[in-house]
Amino acid sequence: MTASIGAEQIVKDFKPSNVPYALAVRLTGKFKTAFPDGPPKPAKEDKDNAQSKEPQLKESNGNGVVILVGDSDMLNDQVCVQVQEILGYRMVRPMNGNLNLVQSFVEQLSGDSALISLRSRASLDRPFTRLREMQANAGREYEAKLKELEASKEETERKISELQSQEVRQRTKVHPVPRTAEGIGELSKNRG
């Protein structure tokens, strides 16, 4: 069974419980049997098959290692890789660190933990689409406010410039001196 809910929907519906959960656990040590009272009784249809007479182990002889993972979909192509057809070739690009995690499991279980430190741990770009949408919306709002403020600034600068030019015109306006005014008046009479 594969994951069919989109990542955006999962993030949208997520409600934190504030309780840490282990997604993967590595168990080591001597393991006890799941059947301390002996092997399970055979089913009715299996009565013909005689049970093995081998002695049952109550506990493992040596230390064992088991890795339990909470989700097997992590290895599904739809979850961990992006497959593209390019010029007739199938190109596979990891989308997350799931393959590296499973490779580390195999190396741990094979008994060679030194191999883990040799492999590079490249960082992957895993965009937070919801965060990008929020940033884009904020950017649009900011841009609209910025345009509004720039228009207001231009209007204010235009008004300041207009007021300054009126002030200059007021200062340079010719105010006739009374004697000059009389002379202009006489010239007007003589012409008229």
pLDDT at residue 48, as a whole number = 57
At 94, phi and psi to the nearest 5? -65, 140
Averaged pLDDT, 136-163: 88
The pLDDT tens digits of the residues spanning 94-115 come to 888 888 888 888 888 887 656 6
pLDDT at residue 102, as a whole number = 85
pLDDT at residue 1, as a whole number = 45
Measure the CA–CA gap between 163 and 174, rounded to whole angstroms.
Answer: 19
Does the global pTM surpass 0.85? no
- pLDDT at residue 178 is higher than 70: no
31 in Cβ contact with 64 (< 8 Å):
yes
Instruction: Categorize the per-residue pLDDT at 87 as very low, low, confident or very high, splitting at 50, 70 and 90.
Output: confident
- pLDDT at residue 183 is higher than 60: no
Hey, which residues does 69 pair with through a beta bridge? 24
Measure the CA–CA gap between 153 and 151, rounded to whole angstroms.
Answer: 5
